[in-house]
Amino acid sequence: MDFTLKIWRQKNAQTKGSFKTYPLKDVSPEMSFLEMLDYLNKQIIEQGDEPVTFEHDCREGICGSCGLYINGRPHGPMRNTTTCELHMREFKDGETIVIEPWRSRAFPVIKDLVVDRSSFERIMHAGGFISANTGTAPESNSNPISKLIADKAFDAAACIGCGACVAACQNSSAMLYAAAKIAQYAMIPQGKVEAKERVDKMVKQMDAEGFGFCSNTYGCEFDCPKGISVDFIALMNREFFSSKVCKQKQA
């Protein structure tokens, strides 16, 4: 297969970037999208130029490192699929493929297709945990949790922290990312103790990082490679408002 690639090149955060066009021949349909980029990079290097920088590690859809904006969609055209799991057989021979980094104020570009997602980390520092010290845990089965709830908590916990939800959102909102964690913990007994404080702090941090608000277009769910449901945003909002009510009552 042959492709024309239009790739965002940017030397660093200070310099302005631009698209560069690369024709690429003899791509195998069995190649993954990132293997296709490896193949391109090999040719770029052999011609004496600097390769396209992009993030990746596990190459099996679970570490959340890779995240490219492909033909106007985070992680490309396939639903429930990360960039590294996407294969070239999903594209048409001769197609032009446009590849960009995530675009969001809270994710500044570092180089080429690499962005800084440390804002996501800080949201977790603010409250993405259950305060249980090592060695303090009771026997696991002393606290039964219905399978239904446990499975739901798992669905929320499946987030890989890639940032596609933010990239997909017209407002660059991080609601789905924060909601997934907040909901996971709010649903289970271990997490309920700190639920109100958690939602408060995490939402505050999300705002401080410059992520936008949610206008319910559901683009995040549509483009989430793990199919995380927007229902968790509703659950987060409920938690958030009830935490406000509690505070007012206390005051």
Partner 1 sequence: MQKLDSKIPEGPLAEKWSRYKAGLRLVNPANKKKIDIIVVGTGLAGAGTASALGELGYNVKVFCFQDSPRRAHSVAAQGGINAAKNYKNDNDSVYRLFHDMVKGGDYRAREANVYRAAEVSNDVIDHFTALGVPFARDYGGSLDTRSFGGVQVSRTFYAKGQTGQQCLLGTYSSLNRQIAKGTVKMFPRRDMLDVVIIDGKARGIITRNLLTGELERHSAHAVVLATGGYGTVFYLSTLGLGSNASAAWSAYKKGALFANPSFIQIHPTSIPVLNDYQCKLTLMSESLRNDGRVWVPKEKGDKRHPGEIPEEERDYYLERRYPAFGNLVPRDVASRAAKERCDAGYGVGDTGLSVYLDFKDAIEKQGQKAIKDKYGNLFEMYEKITGINPYTQPMRIYPAGHYTMGGLWVDYNLMTTIPGLYAIGESNFSDHGANRLGASSLMQCCGDGYFILPNTIGHYLADDIRTGKIPADDPAFEEAEKTVADRIQRIIAVGGKETASSFHKRLGKIMWDHCGMRRDAEGLKKGMELLKQLEEEFWKNICIPGSEKDLNQELEKALKVADFFEVGMLMCEDALQREESCGAHFREEHQTETGEARRDDANFAYVGAWEYLGPKAKPKLYKEALRFEFVELKERSYK
Report if residue 24 touches partner 1, rule: CB under 8 A. Answer: no
Closest to 116 (Cα-Cα) out of 206, 12, 35, 32: 12
Residue among 30, 72, 94, 170 that touches partner 1 (CB under 8 A): 30
Considering Cα of 68, then 71, then 72, then 75, what sign does the dihedral take? Answer: negative
Residue 101 touches partner 1, criterion: CB under 8 A: no
In angstroms, give the least distance from the CB of 245 to partner 1: 24
Residue from 114, 171, 222, 231 that binds partner 1 (CB under 8 A)? 114
At closest approach, how far in Å is the CB of 159 from partner 1?
Answer: 8
113 near 52, Cβ under 8 Å? yes
Q: What span, in angstroms and rounded, lies between the C-alpha atoms of 225 and 33?
A: 15
Segment interacting with partner 1, rule: CB under 8 A, options 15-23, 36-44, 92-100, 212-220: 36-44
**Number of residues this chain uses to bind partner 1 (CB under 8 A):** 80
Is residue 190 close enough to count as binding partner 1 by CB under 8 A?
yes
Among 60, 93, 95, 197, binds partner 1 (CB under 8 A): 60
Residues 102 and 166 sit within 8 Å (Cβ to Cβ): yes
**Of the residues 4, 20, 50, 197, which one makes contact with partner 1 according to CB under 8 A:** 50
Is residue 124 part of the contact set for partner 1 (CB under 8 A)? yes
- Residue nearer to partner 1 on the CB measure, 8 or 120: 120
- Residues 33 and 84: their CA atoms lie apart, in Å, by 6
CB of 66 to partner 1, least distance (A): 10
Tell me how far apart the alpha carbons of residues 183 and 234 are, in angstroms, rounded to a whole number: 9
Residue 85 makes contact with partner 1 by CB under 8 A: yes
Say how many C-beta atoms besides its own lie within 10 A of residue 114's C-beta: 17
Binding segment toward partner 1, per CB under 8 A, in 69-77, 107-115, 206-214, 239-247: 107-115
Among 14, 72, 94, 138, binds partner 1 (CB under 8 A): 138
Report the site for partner 1 in 195-234 (rule: CB under 8 A). Answer: none
Which residues lie closer than 8 Å to 79 by C-beta, 6 or more apart? 222, 223, 227
CB atoms within 10 A of CB 34: 19
Binding-site member from 19, 129, 213, 241 for partner 1 (CB under 8 A): 129
CB of 163 to partner 1, least distance (A): 10
